[in-house]
Chains A and B, each alone.
Chain A
Amino acid sequence: MARNNTEKNDVLSTWASMRKLASKYTTWVTFVLLILLLSILTKGAALRWQSIRNLLIQESVRAFAALGVGMIIITKGIDLSIGYVVCLCSSIAASFAQNPNYSSAIYSGHSFPLFVPILAGIVAGGLFGLFNGWLVAYGKLPPFIATLGSMSIAKGLQLIYTKAAVVGSLNQNYKNISQGSVGPLPNLIIYVIIAAIIVWVLLNHTRQGTNFYAIGGNPQAARVSGINVERDLMLVYTYAGLLYGVAGVLLSSRLGLANSLTANGMELDAIAAVTVGGVSQSGGVGTVGGMMIGVFTMGLINYGMTFLAIDSYYQQLVKGFIIIVAVFFDMKKYARRA
């Protein structure tokens, strides 16, 4: 009888530890399963290097947004302004990269060195992030509302700045930033890898990053531990803003133009991606690896459905369900034990 029990316990504990493991690596397991599924359904066609390369390029800009909002969600915040901030940054950057002889250029007749558009885009993003961060940290606005407001401000500024016109005819040097490649690796992918490494170092190897987790996990305890919660919150939104700025530059460089529709809806894609990647809405949990896997999982789903010629209306539907399921499990996992 007793022996029977211990055997049963062994089985139970193996099962439990397997479940634990599975729940720890859910995002990775999902990703691998998706790839397998897709390669079976397309008999390997979807997994040719050319296709994967396209997928990576397609998702790379979103990856910047995801890294930014991922850090913000770790501090238990949210950012709805991403799409329009990226849009604004891409327009500002592009306006300094237009061919000087293009008659509708914003600075027609002027030519700027390459660093000007890049810097302008990134600085614009950083300033917007600082503004968001100030509202949340010192203005004590709920992040949802603060960034809802700044979203509209960013959109307004973009329309005013461009007079609602397309910022086109960008010079080749600027386009080369994102359109070139080093050996088999497209530039964009290299940039994403660099950004991911920087964010990874920040989150895992600096006091600042550890503070973000602490603030998201228990702001009161963070304060008692001597963490300057306000300053760190302002910084996390600023870092995210800088990443959106980079995204804006790369997006206009890749598309060769910027307009008021650029990056629309990117906030939802980015939030969905990091959520699928295991960054918890309850704060204090998330990894760079997870964020990246999340981005490419969402990309893979889109791409796979396109490849399988599934109507794009259904794609929207499937995406919605995936986000809901991801958050559902997230909430179950981290629900406070009452």
Chain B
Amino acid sequence: MDSYALEMLDITKRFPGVLALDNVTFRVKPGTVHALMGENGAGKSTLMKCLFGIYKEDAGTILLQGKETHFHGSADALEAGVSMIHQELSNVPERSVADNIWLGREPKNKFGLLDHKKMLQDTANLLRRVEMDVDPRQRMGGLSISKQQACEIAKAVSYDAKVVVMDEPTSSLTDNEVEHLFKIIRNLRSQNVAVIYISHKMEEIFQIADMVSVMRDGQMVGTYGVDELTNDKLISLMVGRDSTQRFPEVESRIGDVCLKVEHLSAMNPRSFQDVSFELHKGEILGVGGLVGAQRTELVEAIFGIRGIAVGRIEINGKNFSKLTPKLAIDNGLGMITEDRRGSGIFPLLNITNNTAMASLGEYRNKLKMLRHKEIEVECRRYNEALRTKTPTMETLIQNLSGGNQQKVIISRWLMTVPDILIMDEPTRGIDVGAKLEIYTIMANLVKEGKAILMVSSEMPELIGMSHRVMVLCEGKMTGILDSGDITQENIMRLATQFS
């Protein structure tokens, strides 16, 4: 019983400016369900990415059944019996269940053609092993999410799985489907498979896990038997730390309400529902919650990027039931999106153009021609004020560091002279020094009377910068914490209310 299915020993991984994994040791026994817990950014996914060879660890060894291993991607790992069941499914929806399971290693007959009969038979056997009732000829895309997931597990089993990693597997399942998934997991356990179970949902952990390992700030806090733990103890293990990051003093006068959201619901019933709040001038309102809490969806709807089913948005006293980004900008909103590469930068344009893009309309002469001189002067002024480090204003933005790209994007929005700035993960992927600079910029903005709505997954940031914190859990607002009540424990409690 002393042998481990998987051992990750002294794994260290460093990103520019961040120590993502600090000497992490993680051991999993066969025939156990081992939960891996931690806040967003604690290092769980980085650790798993090192396991699958998506990241190369800087130091440390990985042993699979006692033998040193290095995988080069998930296909490679799958061959060795280590598989990952993702939050997002990665199958080919237009092909059958059998095709999907045997993709790339289809059985052939003696003529070298596909042996459909064997394929269907093997699939049927396999599905029986995971107690799945699905026709192998069924089109994958036509199955429910939970059945598709089960098919992925079946696929893992077909590779003689030794370790199966499940990353938030229940995030889109109903209660009944969760029950079925747990049955499959227990089944795997009885076949001596090690299951690494990553989830934020406390209740599930106590239901299914045998062992729990907790990570925090890139370090392994410890590994416990599930019977040694309680809900509260687990939370305190996950958050229990003093904030090491420093934040500037946020001194501002809280003024009148400038943004009022009432009973806002998304088109998609699984997204945010019935959210109401008020944002005041000179205030930073933090928005906290776990992955999947629908925070980004909410703020993008307020900016008009996503549609709204019902509800009302009031900006500076004006009412809107339908918004577009253009309308939002014209009414004093600005939006720094979460995905800087995907919806922030124009990679092949220079700093000036990237900065000016949202306010070109304000810089035209009578003939509707752009006033290039003035645009250049203004872009330079904003970027200098934020201390964007760039060789020239003509440098392509893709050649700057993440922190400097972010400053260019903040400049873009400051140039529109907004009253309200929505910042979705304002310091994601930015090194520590630049983070502090961004915090200082934010503090100065609210001092000038602007309001900031800040979505953040980083607990210290949320606590250090916000006047109040609104917490979402599974699309519902579970509370707004006033400055005195903003603690990690309170936020975590509200963020996990429904789990």
Q: B301-314 toward A: CB 8 Å interface, digit per residue (1/0)?
A: 00101000000000
Query: Quick check: B370 and A205 within 8 Å, CB to CB?
Result: yes
Distance in Å: Cβ of A313 to nearest Cβ of chain B: 38
B464 within 8 Å of A by Cβ?
no
**Given contacts A213-B346, A213-B349, are A206 and B368 in contact (CB under 8 A)?**
yes
B41 within 8 Å of A by Cβ?
no
**Which chain A residues in 216-230 approach chain B with CB under 8 Å?**
217-218, 220-228
Distance in Å: Cβ of A90 to nearest Cβ of chain B: 32
Distance in Å: Cβ of B245 to nearest Cβ of chain A: 28
A214 within 8 Å of B by Cβ?
yes
Query: Quick check: B353 and A201 within 8 Å, CB to CB?
Result: no
Q: Which residues of A contact B370 (CB under 8 A)?
A: 205-207, 210
Q: Which residues of B contact A284 (CB under 8 A)?
A: 346-349
Q: Which of B2-10, B184-192, B337-345 contacts A (4 or more CB under 8 A)?
A: B337-345
Distance A201 CA – B342 CA, assembled complex (angstroms): 29
**Which chain B residues in 335-393 approach chain A with CB under 8 Å?**
335, 337, 342-349, 353, 356-358, 360-361, 364, 368-370, 372
**Count of chain B residues near A, Cβ 8 A:** 31
Q: Which residues of A contact B345 (CB under 8 A)?
A: 218, 221
Distance A197 CA – B200 CA, assembled complex (angstroms): 60
Distance A40 CA – B335 CA, assembled complex (angstroms): 59
B325 within 8 Å of A by Cβ?
yes
**Given contacts A221-B343, A221-B345, are A207 and B368 in contact (CB under 8 A)?**
yes
Q: B153-181 toward A: CB 8 Å interface, digit per residue (1/0)?
A: 00000000000000000000000000000
Q: Which residues of B contact A206 (CB under 8 A)?
A: 368-370
**Given contacts A205-B372, A206-B369, A210-B370, are A224 and B349 in contact (CB under 8 A)?**
no
Query: Quick check: B349 and A214 within 8 Å, CB to CB?
Result: yes
Q: Which residues of B contact A214 (CB under 8 A)?
A: 346, 349, 353, 357
B443 within 8 Å of A by Cβ?
no
Interface class of chain A by DSSP: helix
Q: Which residues of B contact A218 (CB under 8 A)?
A: 342-343, 345-347
B412 within 8 Å of A by Cβ?
yes
**Which chain A residues in 153-190 approach chain B with CB under 8 Å?**
none
B326 within 8 Å of A by Cβ?
yes
**Count of chain A residues near B, Cβ 8 A:** 24
Distance A86 CA – B479 CA, assembled complex (angstroms): 63
Query: Quick check: B343 and A217 within 8 Å, CB to CB?
Result: no
A334 within 8 Å of B by Cβ?
yes
Query: Quick check: A221 and B360 within 8 Å, CB to CB?
Result: no
B47 within 8 Å of A by Cβ?
no
Q: Which residues of A contact B330 (CB under 8 A)?
A: 226
Query: Quick check: A226 and B326 within 8 Å, CB to CB?
Result: yes
Q: Which residues of B contact A228 (CB under 8 A)?
A: 324, 326
Query: Quick check: B349 and A201 within 8 Å, CB to CB?
Result: no
B196 within 8 Å of A by Cβ?
no
Query: Quick check: A210 and B348 within 8 Å, CB to CB?
Result: no
A285 within 8 Å of B by Cβ?
yes
**Given contacts A214-B357, A226-B358, are A207 and B364 in contact (CB under 8 A)?**
yes
Q: Which residues of B contact A337 (CB under 8 A)?
A: 398
B329 within 8 Å of A by Cβ?
yes
Query: Quick check: A210 and B305 within 8 Å, CB to CB?
Result: no
Q: Which residues of B contact A217 (CB under 8 A)?
A: 346-349
Q: B438-479 toward A: CB 8 Å interface, digit per residue (1/0)?
A: 000000000000000000000000000000000000000000
Q: Which residues of A contact B325 (CB under 8 A)?
A: 223-226
Besides A210-B360, A223-B343, A224-B337, 10 more A-B contacts (Cβ < 8 Å) are A206-B369, A207-B368, A214-B357, A218-B345, A218-B347, A224-B305, A225-B329, A226-B328, A284-B346, A284-B347
8 A-B pairs whose Cβ atoms sit less than 8 Å apart in the complex: A207-B364, A213-B353, A214-B346, A217-B348, A221-B344, A221-B345, A224-B305, A227-B357
